[in-house]
Structure 1
């Protein structure tokens, strides 16, 4: 939105970029292929841009896609802006070699198979900034990483936070998400399905930041004999589920991308499912980061799907 000083915010800059792509692809439908975004998302971003600018950029309907006179003007200005930004990026390369420092990053475990995890690309981009930077990754569970961050042994961590501990940190930036579903071993799943998806008598791993969500999804209060196990360690959950003794909510990507998909089945995959939001977490305000740590922060945040809309 254009603020009182007449400046566009970051979202509008991204919308202008999408608008140019829509124009160059001669319509929203064609632009879905080049942007990777759905037609409803592109349409919504175009509407939001029009609201922000206070003008109609194009005519769209059965007659096809056509720019208004204002749309032609905005398209020309947007291309000029893109040229300025490209020139700025080129100039930055002249100072990149001055960036030095070591960054310590904590990453929650069992995320390597998640397709929309931007961390590997962020690391590659970070090393392209300078030959004088370095990064150390610590991979572990939330407790391990939080302890390291509290002792200033990490500059930042990428974890899932529960509602109760979001306010414990000075800065939290959403990055990406993963979906978890309720899994059972194949033979156990077959029996549960035969019983109309009744969970009566089952041991279910429920705990951690999403315990309340899990219980609400499964409506565990309707059972008198369900045993809720207070545990939310992904790897232990996989082992217990493979044993056939427990049911567990597990990240879908972890199961689908290896041999486990031959042994474990997601029960009611469209209903017994929830999303976990991964965030980039700082103990202190962002402006206290070293130049190298701040550079990596931006490498990671700029790749977040949340910044794509």
Structure 2
């Protein structure tokens, strides 16, 4: 097939549908109806001569060939964006797109300098389309590796192969309970033995060693992000770990209590992650310099 501009649009629709996992979920982003999306998908399948997905009452699922087309399309989009950025660099301006993935609950962290980095980057000459997206740590890493994100920011204790990390700062976590939790309302001193009688929240991305070390009671809830964990803890029915900076507001209000903070705590390192060996555009290189500079690090 001879590639055309209309084919690029069809691939963009396909990528959005695959990312959202459904036609209806992609409507708002694409600003077209589900029926139009379906027509575009059919047209793309006819152009390529392959079945891209299974769709119907059982839901949406990519075929094996559909996954290969999706991976190729994402590489194509990245190459187009990189080309745009490099041409802009030749003219002495920053152009193209910059996609950054973040973990949740960073906005209250005083050590995070994302806003300062973006402020410095925004003063530079050019016109860069900036996208910030929030993801679970594992998905964020994979999307950086796949080129969906140019870089990622978060805590990644188990970095996947093919990525490199630039350490930024440490974040302290403590075990918290709501003031209405039975453990807090009990007038007796809290001991680690007492914790074994109360429900804990686990993080879905923890490994077995993390769980053995941090989960001191029965696990009866699972989360993959920090804010849902805060909601469960505030219910008064669960114990769980939170970053100190996030919990501070509710601690000061008397709604949350740190449990045995001298004994039960852990530290995680936040990093900027990038794909190894991938050619970086001038736009990305400039953002890395501004970002590391905001954190007082050498780029």
Name the TM tier (shorter chain). Answer: 0.5 to 0.7
1:280 CA displacement:
0.8
Unaligned regions of 5+ residues in structure 1, if any?
1-94
Q: Deviations over 1:38-77 (max 9, x none)?
A: xxxxxxxxxxxxxxxxxxxxxxxxxxxxxxxxxxxxxxxx
Residue deviations 1:223-251 (CA, integer Å, cap 9, x gap): 7xx34645443122112111111100011
Cα drift, residue 217 of structure 1: 5.4
**Residue of structure 2 aligned with 1:140, choices 88, 112, 135:** 135
Q: Distance in 2 between matches of 1:242 and 1:278?
A: 25
Whole-angstrom distance in 1 between the partners of 2:231 and 2:107: 18
Report the counterpart of residue 107 of structure 2 in structure 1.
112
Report what 2:213 is aligned to: 216
Q: In structure 2, how many angstroms separate the alpha carbons of the residues matched to 1:104 and 1:266?
A: 36
CA gap of 1:306–1:203, structure 2 versus 1, over 3 A, is farther
CA distance in 1, matches of 2:93, 2:232: 51
Structure-1 residue corresponding to 2:118:
123
Residue aligned with 2:209, SS: helix
The answer to whether the 8 Å contact 1:174/1:306 transfers is no
Match of 2:227 in 1: 235
Give the conservation status (yes or no) of the 8 Å contact 1:98–1:130: yes
Deviates more, 1:254-263 or 1:105-114: 254-263
Which 4+ residue blocks in structure 1 deviate beyond 4 angstroms? 258-261
The whole-number CA distance in structure 1 between the counterparts of 2:207 and 2:270 is 13
Deviations 1:136-156 (A, max 9, x none): 111232244234324321101
Q: Could you tell me the TM-score, scaled by structure 1's length?
A: 0.58
Alignment partners' CA distance in 1, 2:207 and 2:189: 26
Structure 2: 5+ residue runs without aligned partners? Answer: 1-89
How many equivalent pairs are there? 206
SS of the residue 2:237 aligns to: coil
Quote the residue 1:282 is aligned against. 274
Report the secondary structure of 1:285's partner residue: coil
8 Å Cα contact 1:169/1:281 also seen in 2: no
Greater mean deviation of Cα atoms: 133-142 or 117-126? 133-142
Partner Cα distance (2:211, 2:186) in 1: 18
Flag the 1:182–1:259 CA change in 2: closer, same or farther, 3 A. Answer: closer
User: The residue matched to 1:294 in structure 2 has which SS?
Assistant: helix
Paired with 1:266 and 1:296, the residues of 2 have a C-alpha distance of: 37
Is residue 136–residue 224 contact of structure 2 (8 Å, CA) maintained in 1? no
Give the aligned partner of residue 302 of structure 1: 293
On the 8 A contact 2:145/2:274 being kept in 1, the answer is: no
Cα deviation digits, residues 168-187 of structure 1 (max 9, x gap): 23321111221111000113
What TM-score comes out, normalization by structure 2 length? 0.60
Q: Matches of residues 83-98 of structure 1 in structure 2 within 5 Å?
A: 97-98=92-93
Indicate which of 235, 242, 257 corresponds to 1:250.
Answer: 242
What SS does the corresponding residue of 1:148 show, helix, strand or coil?
helix
Which string of whole-angstrom CA distances, capped at 9 and with x for unpartnered residues, describes residues 157-211 of structure 1?
1121123xx2423321111221111000113242466253221311111333476
Q: Deviations over 1:65-119 (max 9, x none)?
A: xxxxxxxxxxxxxxxxxxxxxxxxxxxxxx9953333211111111101011011
Residues 151-162 of structure 1 mapped to structure 2, 5 A cutoff? 151-162=146-157
1:293 Cα shift? 0.7
Shift of the alpha carbon at 1:212? 3.1
